């Protein structure tokens, strides 16, 4: 099985379409949350996830934008985007987003896929960022073999086998073209895998990020793919969203 893992789309339709085209063919799509927020195409990105994703996990921006929790904890730019998104979404999409489950989702229980779970932030706390080995230690001790996470907008992850611990950072040859990097999954290892952000990367790489989990090859293939940043920026500006949200797409931070 080839499962496409997406996270942090953030209503960036141009990036999402580029990812879906580059990732094909795939057998399943697992969405780790934050479909909306920041970008200017919330209804379009939700429609694609409703159509294509077999599993969806809610993100913190999803939770705020559909009205489950307040935006007061967000910084002013994120708060402005969340308030705009709440008004821009259709009632049907707000209701769908509000019903998306909190992670982690155990795929063995949900679909008979052993050793895999899905979360937005830490599997121990959906709002916690896993940025360092210290952050990863407790979740890895209590997780399934592979837990896919998002939230940080940083592609990579953490791996552990017995007393060996490793931080995973893909190493690409290109900074402008489509590129891939494969991570083998040896037996007996545990992994926290972040596919990166589709719509707003923050690892100084502007390209849309995603991952493919190939169960037969026992590997995870990280991907970066170019997309029409100018069009995505134009949508943000035309919507009247903060200019910072358009500017950061080009720099990837």
pLDDT in tens, 32-60: 999 999 999 999 999 999 999 999 999 99
Res. 207 pLDDT band, cuts 50 70 90: very high
- 203 burial via Cβ count (<10 Å: 0-12, 13-18, 19+): buried
Residue 169 has what pLDDT? 95
State the CATH number of the domain containing residue 98: 3.60.21.10
- 113 burial via Cβ count (<10 Å: 0-12, 13-18, 19+): buried
Q: How many domains does the chain have?
A: 1
Q: How far apart are CA 227 and CA 176, in angstroms?
A: 10
HSE (CB half, 13 Å, CA atoms) of 176? 0
Output phi, psi for 110, to 5 deg: -85, -30
CB of 193 closer than 8 Å to CB of 160? no
Residue 86 has what pLDDT? 96
The 10s digit of each residue's pLDDT in 70-100 is 999 899 999 999 999 999 999 999 999 999 9
Res. 6 pLDDT band, cuts 50 70 90: very high
pLDDT at 132 exceeding the cut of 80: yes
Q: How far is CA 100 from CA 94, 133, 228, in A?
A: 10, 29, 29
The DSSP symbol for 69 reads S
Residue 141 has what pLDDT? 86
Residue 162 has what pLDDT? 80
The 10s digit of each residue's pLDDT in 164-203 is 899 999 999 988 899 999 999 998 899 999 999 999 999 9
pLDDT at 142 exceeding the cut of 90: no
What is the percent of the chain with per-residue pLDDT over 70, rounded to a whole number? Answer: 100
pLDDT at 144 exceeding the cut of 80: no
CB of 97 closer than 8 Å to CB of 58? yes
pTM of the complete model beyond 0.75: yes
Residue 143 has what pLDDT? 77
Instruction: Please give the torsion angle defined by the CA atoms of residues 120, 128, 204 and 206, in that order, rounded to the nearest 10 degrees.
Output: 20
Structural domain range at position 234: 2-251
Mean pLDDT of all residues belonging to the chain: 95
């Amino acid at each position: 099985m080839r499962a496409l893992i997406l996270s942090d789309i953030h209503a960036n339709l141009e990036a999402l379409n580029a990812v879906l085209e580059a990732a094909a063919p795939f057998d399943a799509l697992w969405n780790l949350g934050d479909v909306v927020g920041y970008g200017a195409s919330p209804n379009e990105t939700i429609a694609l996830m409703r159509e294509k994703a077999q599993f969806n996990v809610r993100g913190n921006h999803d939770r705020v934008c559909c009205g489950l929790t307040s935006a007061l904890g967000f910084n002013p730019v994120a708060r402005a985007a969340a308030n705009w998104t709440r008004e821009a979404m259709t009632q049907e999409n707000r209701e769908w987003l509000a019903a998306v489950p909190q992670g982690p989702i155990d795929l063995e229980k949900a679909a008979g896929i052993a050793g895999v779970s899905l979360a937005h932030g830490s599997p121990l706390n959906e709002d916690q960022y896993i940025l360092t080995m210290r952050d990863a230690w407790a979740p890895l001790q209590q997780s399934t073999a592979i837990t896919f996470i998002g939230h940080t907008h940083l592609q990579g992850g953490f791996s552990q086998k017995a007393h060996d611990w490793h931080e995973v950072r893909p190493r690409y040859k290109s900074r402008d073209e489509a590129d891939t990097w494969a991570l083998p999954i040896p037996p007996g290892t545990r992994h926290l895998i972040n596919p990166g952000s589709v719509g707003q990367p923050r690892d100084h790489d502007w390209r849309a990020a995603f991952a493919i989990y190939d169960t037969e090859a026992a590997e995870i293939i990280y991907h970066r793919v170019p997309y029409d940043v100018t069009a995505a920026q134009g949508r943000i500006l035309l919507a009247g969203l903060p200019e910072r949200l358009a500017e950061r797409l080009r720099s990837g931070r």
